[in-house]
Amino acid sequence: MARLPFLSEPLDGGDVRVRDAAERDIPEVLIAFEDDPAMHLRLGHPRPPSGAQLGRLAETEATDRAAGSRATLTILEADSDLCLGQVAVHDLDWDHARATLSPWVAPQARGRGLAAGAVRLIGGWLLGRCGLVRVQVLCEADNQAMLRAGARAGLQHEGVLMAYRRLGSRRVDVAVLSLIAADLKAA
């Protein structure tokens, strides 16, 4: 059965580390969404998460991982355990061995390379330990920060899906960025 195991140790990329999400991250997650009121829309959610929703996700994390349906990982700086962002692993398709990553970084921590480092670490873990063949990031086609982070993480820009996602009352184009094992070897 396909599953997403918990990390025995945080993934370490030097300046950035990634660990399994924990309930202790909830206050920082809520603050980040409060500090960037449009972040939930860019992630494709109709509203910011509530503390209760985050608590329910934390409660079902073990079951969801065992079923291979989703995982949430927390982004950290090298010498800290403070949540500076997260990466959701979702839309897993085990028949085709692929998943989608949705990274976000708290406004006060942006510009430090945390998203790129976290996506690269998690991508490597999913392509290696978890047996996936492809991971992808979907972002607004004009989200220059995510496009730069994706390039730094080694993701390939595959193209743009026109009017793919609804953002509030309008439709937006979405860029498709992908990572396969060959991309990790090339870097």
What are 119-171's pLDDT values in tens digits?
A: 999 999 999 999 999 999 999 999 999 999 999 999 999 999 999 988 778 89
User: Model pTM?
Assistant: 0.94
The pLDDT of residue 187: 61
71 phi, psi to nearest 5 deg: -150, 155
What structural domains does the chain harbor?
11-137 (3.40.630.30)
How large is the average pLDDT for residues 80-84? 97
Model confidence band, residue 184 (pLDDT cutoffs 50, 70, 90): confident
Collapsing DSSP to helix, strand or coil, 126 comes out as helix
Would you say residue 186 has pLDDT above 80?
A: no
Instruction: Name which of 43-52, 112-121, 178-187 the model is least confident about.
Output: 178-187
Q: What Å distances lie between residue 183 and 94, 113, 154, CA to CA?
A: 20, 19, 6
In whole angstroms, what is the distance from residue 22 CA to residue 55 CA? Answer: 9
For residue 132, list its beta bridge partners.
Answer: none
Number of H helices, E strands in the chain: 6, 8
Per residue in 23-55, pLDDT (tens digit) is 999 999 999 999 999 999 888 888 999 999 999
Tell which residue, 39, 15, 11, 19, has the closest CA to residue 146: 39
Q: At what angle do helices 144-152 and 114-128 cross, to 10 degrees?
A: 50
Percent of the chain exceeding pLDDT 90 equals 88
The pLDDT of residue 72: 98
